[in-house]
Structures are given as C-alpha cells and as structure tokens.
Amino acid sequence: MSLSRVREHKSENERALGIVVTRCTLKEADQDAVSNKYGMANGRTFATWLRSLNYLRNVCAHHSRLWNRNMAVQPKKPGAGEVPVFSTAWDDNHVQARAFLLLCIAQHMLTRINPSSSWWLRVKAHLHTFPDLGSMGLNLWGMGVMDGWDEWEFNI
C-alpha cells in the first residue's frame, strides 16, 4: 500500500489510520512516515500507541471500569525527546499501565490533528471534579495521573 493511499485513509476517517498502520503490511519506511506526522520517528512504536488507544476505546464502549484498570495493551516508550510533555510517564510502571497515559497520548495526537481543540481543557476540568476520597484510598493516582499534569501544555 502506498503512502498516498495511507493519506486517503486518514482523510476519510482517523480510525482507518490505526487499521492501516497496525494491520496492513505497510513498509517500515511508510509506517515511519505516518508516525513522523505525530512527532515520532518509529512507526512500530506508534502502532503500539494506536493499539492501546483501540483497547481504551473498547473498554469505554463496553462500559467497563476504567478509573483504576490495568491496561492489558500498553504503549511502548517513544524515542528520547519525541514527546517531552509526559516523558516521565515511562519511568513508572504504574503510570504506564493506567488510562491516564492513554489520555495523554490521545491529546498528543489531537494536538497535531486539531491544534485548536479544547478537549484537554475539558479532561482537566472533569478530573478536577474527582471527589476527595483519599481517606478511602481512592484518588487520581489510581488512574495513573502524574504530579504536575494539570500544568502541562501540549504544543506542536
């Protein structure tokens, strides 16, 4: 499949991008070309991100518990300096296995697709409504939220 065909899929439906990159026998150079559009050099690593987001989508679509769930399909660490805003996530196995990292990945991709999106602001506002249940051991840490997350700025 040619890179121009990949671009057609992307314009038709972003979901098709995941199918093309993860299920087709796309040449590594073409995988890398797609991942470069999202600030990553390695297309195979990017494919793990897409598979992880697909898993997150399935958990949500089937109304499964998400907040403190260990993600069965986890994204691989990007290359050094490729995604600096949440680079510390890869230092913590707990964070890597939780949904918050996937929300960060979705925002990273959305920043490239639609830089004017306010989605991350809505995510932040929603997470700030989480009740104070620390006495019961229930907090945002269970979702994998990292220190300083609400001060991050995602830039292209």
SS (H, E, C) the chain: CCHHHHHHHHHHCHHHHHHHHHHCCCCHHHHHHHHHCCCCCCHHHHHHHHHHHHHHHHHHHCCCCCCCCCCCCCCCCCCCCCCHHHHHHHHCHHHHCCHHHHHHHHHHHHHHHCCCCCHHHHHHHHHHCCCCEHHHCECHHHHCCCCCHHHCCCCC
Residue recorded with tokens 């989480």: 130
Print pLDDT tens along the chain (156 aa): 555 555 454 445 555 555 555 555 688 999 999 999 999 999 999 999 999 999 999 999 998 888 889 999 999 999 998 988 888 898 999 999 999 999 999 999 999 999 999 999 999 999 999 887 878 878 899 999 998 888 888 765
pTM over 0.85: no
